[in-house]
Amino acid sequence: MKFSFRPNEGAFYELFTRAAQNLVRGTELLNELALPDVEVQSVSERLTEVEHDSDKITHELYKKINSTFVTPFDREDIYRLGSLLDDVMDHLEAVGNLLYLYGLTKLPSLPREMHELVHVLDQQAKLTAEAMPRLKSMKDLEDYWIEINRLENDGDQAYRMLLVRLFSGEYDALTVLKMKEVADELEAACDSFEHVANTVETIAVKES
Amino acid sequence: MKFSFRPNEGAFYELFTRAAQNLVRGTELLNELALPDVEVQSVSERLTEVEHDSDKITHELYKKINSTFVTPFDREDIYRLGSLLDDVMDHLEAVGNLLYLYGLTKLPSLPREMHELVHVLDQQAKLTAEAMPRLKSMKDLEDYWIEINRLENDGDQAYRMLLVRLFSGEYDALTVLKMKEVADELEAACDSFEHVANTVETIAVKES
Amino acid sequence: MKFSFRPNEGAFYELFTRAAQNLVRGTELLNELALPDVEVQSVSERLTEVEHDSDKITHELYKKINSTFVTPFDREDIYRLGSLLDDVMDHLEAVGNLLYLYGLTKLPSLPREMHELVHVLDQQAKLTAEAMPRLKSMKDLEDYWIEINRLENDGDQAYRMLLVRLFSGEYDALTVLKMKEVADELEAACDSFEHVANTVETIAVKES
């Protein structure tokens, strides 16, 4: 019989992994928005479903923290990591939702820099989903957080260039304001991935 | 003679409660802004007074942390909770101040969604003021944080609909920009109430 | 022979001090932008260089945390303080970069309130650089954080007055949007200095 001193710890890693896999589903849905003849309302609704699923995972995680005697690492860090993964999902959902609500997809095309930002998010989501199971061993995580930070810099650059374009006079003021809201959510998602990675780094520093 | 192992702890709960009661005074003042013939400058000034009083409470709290040997829970959590309650007040004060400074109340009426947001804040403030004294027993707090989170979702929804209206073409670009600043402070206040509730939850998790 | 129980701790204070001195270099560069016939691109590039240097200091700090057995105070607090000093630099660099990217320095002059905000930042940077070496003794730090908070209030006031001017109709909507981005970075830098001071206060409270 296999004996584990920390019988419940597997469940924590599984919840983190599921939360991160939802982020991959989220960025894949955002990628669909670049396709011709996309049904924006349907993408927005599917994003909302994924977001609700993430909420459930987060609550399951919080309940598990409360009902577990020995947690794999600090309760507060588990709590924070869960809450930050949830933040990313909120921003991804907001992007799809705002694009639909503001009718922005009726424009001939969205600025190229928006697609660049979605591409950065997609890579960040995949790296995060791959890293979560490695929390168990606390090994091979350094590449993950370095790469997330590098991608966040790329995202920052794309965001700045997006604003330069938005303010160039190519669009009218109200369209600029709408796109700016979407741009801010894209950038906030990018930042949130970095916050997740920084928290993983903090945990690894403490546990090492 | 009554003996208390933690003689000072009552003072902490009292300071948290007073800080939260000030938030109720704050949202009540914002509610006055919906009344006909309201004196906006006077409301803004009274908000600033309440905000100054909150600052005093926060500093009293910090001094108490420094001068108390055994605190009812982690020093850092007391510090954080006090600072987050202070954040809410700052946002409430900003709402009144900006409405006055930008002359927005000279408009025939403010968008309905702004009043909805104020209503959400009012409910959050009351729930928070009722919850603070329960920190002592750490009991019956779960309903409080669940309800605050639910209200924050309502607030988010009202905020999004507010932006849809602002960007609809009903107002000129500069008026949109001014209202957007007010909307952002309303939404930030709503979020801050959630941060307070999340901190209470974290403390309860640790102490349980 | 001098004996130190904590042989590495001097290195931590030195890294914090170097990070804060870079912030002084940053605000001095922003001050140059007020000079007639300034080369904006050159200032922006030098700000980016200082920002890269700050990144290196932050990484050196993180490595030191990992390789040191007994740290002068909580690992997590060292981590947070380093990361917050880095945040200030990011905002200062963004100010210079956006002014250049948006071509705002081609305007006859920048609003007076922008210069006021830079002046606040300059004072905050100098106070922070002076305070960092005092972390060693944990003495005479109270004046530092009180003064930083006072300056942050001044900055807030200047920021609000800047927005009133931007929304007054003096500039066209796109110019307003561009300046608003710069204003937000200035205000965020001002806030970040306060976060640094609050963290120093938290550390001092714990260590006392």
pLDDT tens sequence for chain B (208 residues): 444 445 567 889 999 999 999 999 999 999 998 787 888 999 999 999 999 999 999 989 988 887 887 888 888 899 899 999 999 999 999 999 999 999 998 888 889 999 999 999 999 999 999 999 999 988 899 999 999 999 999 999 999 999 999 999 999 999 999 999 999 999 999 999 999 999 999 898 777 7
Lowest mean pLDDT among A100-109, A178-187, B94-103: A100-109
Within 10 angstroms of residue B195's Cβ, the number of other Cβ atoms is 18
Between the CA atoms of B48, B63, B85 and C127, what dihedral angle is there, to the nearest 10 degrees? 70
By C-alpha distance, the chain C residue nearest A202 is C76
Q: Does A34 touch chain C (CB under 8 A)?
A: no
Both tokens of residue C29?
A: 């560069």
Give a yes or no: residue A2 inside a domain: no
d(Cα A176, Cα A165) in Å, to the nearest integer?
Answer: 10
What SS3 class is residue B69? coil
Q: Does C163 touch chain A (CB under 8 A)?
A: no
Both tokens of residue A96?
A: 């799809």
Give a yes or no: residue B2 inside a domain: no
Q: At residue A174, does pLDDT exceed 90?
A: yes
Give a yes or no: residue C61 inside a domain: yes
Nearest CB to C160; choose among B62, B79, B101: B101
For A146-167, b/e burial (b = at least 16 CB within 10 A) is: eebeebbebbbebbbbbbebbb
Q: Does C68 touch chain A (CB under 8 A)?
A: no
d(Cα B205, Cα C18) in Å, to the nearest integer?
Answer: 39
Contact B110, B31 (CB under 8 A): no
Give a yes or no: residue A193 inside a domain: yes
Distance from the Cα of C111 to chain B's closest Cα (Å) equals: 17
Q: Return all residues near C142 (Cβ < 8 A) that are at least 6 apart.
A: C204
Give a yes or no: residue A147 inside a domain: yes
Both tokens of residue A138?
A: 């606390």
Chain B contact set for A68 (CB, 8 A): none
Using the structure block, give the residue that is written with the tokens 């019956």.
B140
For A32-51, b/e burial (b = at least 16 CB within 10 A) is: bbeeeeeebeebbebbeebb
> pLDDT band for position C191 (50/70/90)?
very high
By C-alpha distance, the chain A residue nearest B153 is A90
Average pLDDT over residues A151-172: 95
- Segments forming the whole domain that contains residue A99: 9-207
ipTM of the complex: 0.82
Q: Does A157 touch chain C (CB under 8 A)?
A: no
d(Cα C103, Cα C107) in Å, to the nearest integer?
Answer: 8
Q: Which chains touch B (3 or more CB pairs under 8 A)?
A: A, C
CB contact under 8 A, A177 and B167: yes
Both tokens of residue C109?
A: 């002059």
Within 10 angstroms of residue A10's Cβ, the number of other Cβ atoms is 12
Residue B9 CA neighbour count, 13 Å, CB half: 15
Give a yes or no: residue C57 inside a domain: yes
Q: Which chains touch A (3 or more CB pairs under 8 A)?
A: B, C
Give a yes or no: residue C3 inside a domain: no
CATH number of the domain where residue A57 is located: 1.20.58.220
Tell which of B51, B68, B86, B101 to mutate to test the C interface (max C CBs under 10 Å). Answer: B101
Q: What are the pLDDT digits (tens) for C111-170? A: 999 999 999 999 999 999 999 999 998 889 999 999 999 999 999 999 999 999 999 999
Give a yes or no: residue A103 inside a domain: yes
CB contact under 8 A, C169 and B174: yes
Q: Does B98 touch chain C (CB under 8 A)?
A: yes
Long-range contacts, B67-75 (Cβ 8 Å, 24+): B68/B8, B70/B5, B70/B6, B70/B8, B70/B9, B71/B6, B71/B8, B71/B9, B71/B12, B72/B6, B72/B9, B72/B12, B72/B13, B72/B135, B72/B136, B73/B203, B73/B206, B73/B207, B74/B203, B74/B206, B75/C205, B75/C206
Percent of chain A with pLDDT over 70: 96
Q: Does C174 touch chain A (CB under 8 A)?
A: yes
By C-alpha distance, the chain A residue nearest C65 is A205
Q: Which chains touch C (3 or more CB pairs under 8 A)?
A: A, B
pLDDT of residue B6: 56
Amino acid in the structure at residue B159: Y
Chain C contact set for A173 (CB, 8 A): 173-174, 177
By C-alpha distance, the chain A residue nearest C55 is A149
CB contact under 8 A, C65 and A160: no
Category of C169 on φ-ψ map: left (φ > 0), alpha (ψ -120 to 50) or beta = left
Q: How many domains does chain A have?
A: 1
Q: Does C188 touch chain A (CB under 8 A)?
A: no
Tell which of B202, B203, B207 to mutate to test the A interface (max A CBs under 10 Å). Answer: B202
Q: At residue C7, does pLDDT exceed 70?
A: no
Amino acid in the structure at residue C146: I
Distance from the Cα of A173 to chain C's closest Cα (Å) equals: 7
Tell which of C51, C56, C76, C104 to mutate to test the A interface (max A CBs under 10 Å). Answer: C76
CB contact under 8 A, B176 and A181: no
Backbone phi and psi for residue A38, each to the nearest 5 degrees, phi listed first: -75, 145
Task: Output the DSSP codes for C124-174.
Answer: HHHHHHHHGGGGTTT-S-HHHHHHHHHHHHHHHHHHHHHHHHHTTTSS-HH
Both tokens of residue B37?
A: 């013939």
